[in-house]
Amino acid sequence: MQQLTLFNDQSTELTSDDYYTPKWIFDALNITFDLDPASPIGGPPNTPCRQYFTKQDNGLLQDWNGSVFLNPPFSKTTPWVTKWLSHANGVILVPMSKSKWFNDLWNSNAAIIALPSNLKFDDPTGGNGSIFIACLVAALGTSNIEALNNLGKVR
């Protein structure tokens, strides 16, 4: 079995994947998650969750339980979205993409909302930055879908 990695490497060095979901998204959702399987080293700065995995834990290889919040590494989104869809309980933040995983997400029964085009992610230095592509948030599971409605118009 091929080992899947959380990010481009297993080092503790920061990468272009190290951008964090802004706190206002969690404030709007107003729920606590059971797990963040793709958390930065040291734990999630904003994610309200009971448990988390970092790249050293390799969240793809761990068992997921309960409601999962996932902001996967955008450099390696496919296996994360696949596992999230299979888990079917949580909220995911991903870039819009011309890819099979995006089609799978779009065609699933997930509730989906587009985020503002000027979305700024938090970065490890305490600043924030935009990315060049639009992002969306999707939810599976009744309580997660209800929380997603707090962000705006849901598809």
**Amino acid type, 18:** D
Provide the 10 A C-beta neighbour count for residue 149: 14
pLDDT per position as a tens digit, 102-137: 999 999 999 999 998 888 877 666 766 666 688 999
Contacts 24+ apart (CB under 8 A), 8-13: 8/73, 8/75, 8/76, 10/55, 10/56, 10/58, 12/41, 12/55, 12/56
Question: 52 — phi, psi (to 5°)?
Answer: -150, 155
Exposed (0-12), middle (13-18) or buried (19+): which is 103, by Cβ within 10 Å? exposed
pLDDT in tens, the chain (155 residues): 333 333 334 444 545 566 789 999 999 999 999 999 999 888 888 999 999 999 999 999 999 999 999 999 989 999 999 999 999 999 999 999 999 999 999 999 999 999 988 888 776 667 666 666 889 999 999 999 999 999 988 98
**Amino acid type, 57:** D
Q: Is the pTM of this model over 0.75?
A: yes
| Residue pair 68/89 in contact by the 8 Å Cβ criterion | yes
Indicate the DSSP class of residue 150. G
Q: Can you give the C-alpha Rg of the chain in angstroms?
A: 14
Ordered structural domains, the chain, with CATH: 23-151 (3.40.50)
Q: Residue holding tokens 């065609």?
A: 107
